[in-house]
Amino acid sequence: MQKIFSFILFCLFLASCSQSPAPDLLLINSNFFTADSLRPHVTAVAIQGERILAVGSDEEMKKLAGEKTEIIDLQGAFAMPGFIEGHGHFSGLGRSLQNLNLLNTKSWQEITGLVAEKAQTAQPGDWIEGRGWHQEKWTESPGTTVNGYPYHDALSAAAPNNPVVLYHASGHGLVANQKAMQLAGISRETSDPIGGRIVRDARGNPIGVFEENAMSLIEKPLADWQNRRSDAERQSAFDKTVQLASQECLAKGITSFQDAGSDFWEIAQYHRLAESGKLELRLWAMLSQPNAADLPKLADFPQVGLGNGYFTVRAVKAYLDGALGSYGAWLLAPYTDKPDSYGQNTTPVDNIATLAAACKQHGLQLCVHAIGDRANREVLDIFERVSPPSGGGAGSGVDAARWRIEHAQHLDPQDIPRFRQLGAIASFQAIHCTSDAPFVVKRLGTERARTGAYAWRSLLDSGAHLANGTDAPVEDVNPLPCLYASVTRKRADTGLGFFPEQKMTREEGLLSYTIWNAYAAFEEAEKGSLVPGKLADIVVLSKDLLHCAPEEILQAEVLKTIVGGKVRFDK
Ligand SMILES: [Zn+2]
């Protein structure tokens, strides 16, 4: 009976093969990791239009070829599903490529030098923007400091006629020069806004550094300056930004990007670009935390698969605290190196709960930024209260809604099993672990760092869903250093390690950048593994990321990036 059944299936298979047209593209002679546990390794993939038609051996796939099938011989190279960036800032990435990039600067002197250089060609009154400085990475003293931060004086002297704003690498603080503070009307009388701090010296004078919500004081005149542009100027500047970010991502093997917070205007621009076929990789965006007046606008969402599957908005981003480096992470117990501080709660818990109820009402994923253990506990409590798990993944509970905690960076060990229990997704950035390694123990002390900081292994072992990413432009958007951090927990430059017992296996690392991120966006049926019927989003690399030595991950080169069956980057 079973034989007859098998025979009928075989006939059906032949019939369907003879009916379906030949593939447009065959990728052969490769070493594919498919991220599909049923068939993890194949040598060839057949693509028809935007999608994968079949996977298998070279011989099997060649049989499908027709007269017009293009065949690309990958000469044994390693290939896998295109990388999915799980948490980044797409327009921020584009802007960072236009503004001063301070990620690799080693001193305050170097930074003010770069600003002075930029000021020479800037029109008086134009803002100079930069991002990526980190006082913990400086090898030279910046002179007098407050909490390790420099005074603005050298920056003000470097650009006396231009307002300057330089964002901290974490994105949770900035330093401004005199001109910018003047435009913002900052004086010693200006009081700290809720959830933010104007850093002051012992005499109460602002030193130029603004943390968390205090950043908006400086951002206001910057936004005014930007908004003086016409709609057309603003739109074309945005398109340029998107183009730069796209090129950067495609060159690094990224075929989908999960944007962690765009406002309604930006969402409209992405929508326009997607509908006109101008997005070169797939974007999945979270709406930036809407204010109370904008909550009714959530009724227009989710918007899924716009522009032929290139743009989706089905999530909302919210912020509960700041970052660890700038003492903004909201902790259960005080900072070890700042015993008077528990960090910053940047949005009242009740406001997040209100937003959670709105997300539940409209069927949106809620993605809450939480770094400190207090912030993470509060978010888990909100998830549990507003949208209790429905059990077994069905219904409308937090588990079925796939609500996410963005960063989930420092957890109290008691809260680790709650991710699995609630079905909440821990969306972390492995590269933050090694970037932050030099100061985490200073901030948290050894015991808290060991048991709860970047605790991927503990989360995985508890059965939680994870997502991985870089938080670009906070970090380089390149997935390879992040993958290296995921599987080694070692810094690439100094070799400094951070509690290696929490590292991922090599396979988990690759899954975390493909199918796990697809799951975290409700897109696992469309992408994230190489399976017939899914989108043909593929990256080809010069090293076998599953088997090469760990250090070789860093040397791997992206050879091709394929989105929807089209080669979008070719080395
Ligand atoms: Zn972010």
Per-residue pLDDT of 54-100, as tens digits, reads 999 999 999 999 999 999 999 999 999 999 999 999 999 999 898 99
Q: Which pLDDT score is estimated for 326?
A: 84
- pTM of this structure: 0.86
Residue 540 has pLDDT above 90, yes or no: yes
Q: Residue 460: is its pLDDT beyond 50?
A: yes
Does position 165 have pLDDT exceeding 80, yes or no? yes
Report CA(117)–ligand 1 centroid distance (Å): 29
Mean pLDDT of the chain: 93
Task: Kindly state the average pLDDT of the residues 131-145.
Answer: 92
Strands 538-541 and 78-81 come out as antiparallel
The CA distance from 382 to 384, in Å, is 5
Task: Average the pLDDT over 326-346 and give the result.
Answer: 95
Nearest one of 565, 553, 564 to 513, comparing CA atoms? 553
Count Cβ neighbours within 10 Å for each residue of 193-215 and write b for 16 or more, e otherwise: eebbbbbeeeeeebbbbbbbbbb
Binned at pLDDT 50, 70 and 90, residue 170 comes out as confident
Find out whether 104 and 295 touch, Cβ atoms under 8 Å. Answer: no
Distance of alpha carbon 541 from alpha carbon 76, whole angstroms:
10
Number of continuous H segments (helices) and E segments (strands) in the chain: 21, 27
The whole-number pLDDT of residue 514 equals 98
Triad 244, 95, 493: Cα angle to 5°: 85
Q: Could you give the 3-state DSSP secondary structure of residue 234?
A: helix
Distance 471 CA to ligand 1 centre (A): 5
Mean pLDDT of 242-270: 97
Using the mean position of ligand 1's atoms as its centre, give its distance from the Cα of residue 406 in Å: 8
Percent of the chain predicted with pLDDT > 70: 95
Contacts of 199 (CB under 8 A, 6+ apart): 146, 147, 149, 206, 207, 208, 209, 210, 211
Do residues 81 and 538 touch, judged by C-beta distance below 8 A?
yes
Beta-carbon contacts of 355 under 8 Å, excluding residues fewer than 6 positions away, are: 289, 290, 295, 316, 318, 366
Torsion angle of the four alpha carbons 144, 148, 154, 159, in this order, in degrees rounded to the nearest 10: -160
What are the pLDDT digits (tens) for 291-319?
Answer: 989 999 999 999 999 999 999 999 999 99
What is the Å distance from ligand 1's center to 355 Cα?
19
SS3 217: helix
State percent of the chain over pLDDT 90. Answer: 87
- Evaluate if residue 4 carries a pLDDT over 60: no
Q: How far apart are CA 517 and CA 468, in angstroms?
A: 7
pLDDT score for 2: 47
Determine the distance separating the centroid of ligand 1 and the alpha carbon of 95, expressed in angstroms.
Answer: 15
Q: Is the pLDDT of residue 120 over 60?
A: yes
Provide mean pLDDT across the span 396-411: 89
Check residue 527 and give its pLDDT: 98
Q: pLDDT at residue 13 above 70?
A: no
> How far away, in angstroms, is 88 Cα from ligand 1 center?
6
**Ligand 1 center to residue 543 CA distance, Å?**
29
Measured in angstroms, how far is the CA atom of residue 89 from the centroid of ligand 1? Answer: 6
Six token digits for residue 355: 């937003």
Given this model, what pLDDT does residue 1 score? 45
25 C-alpha to ligand 1 centroid (Å): 37
pLDDT at 227 over 90: no
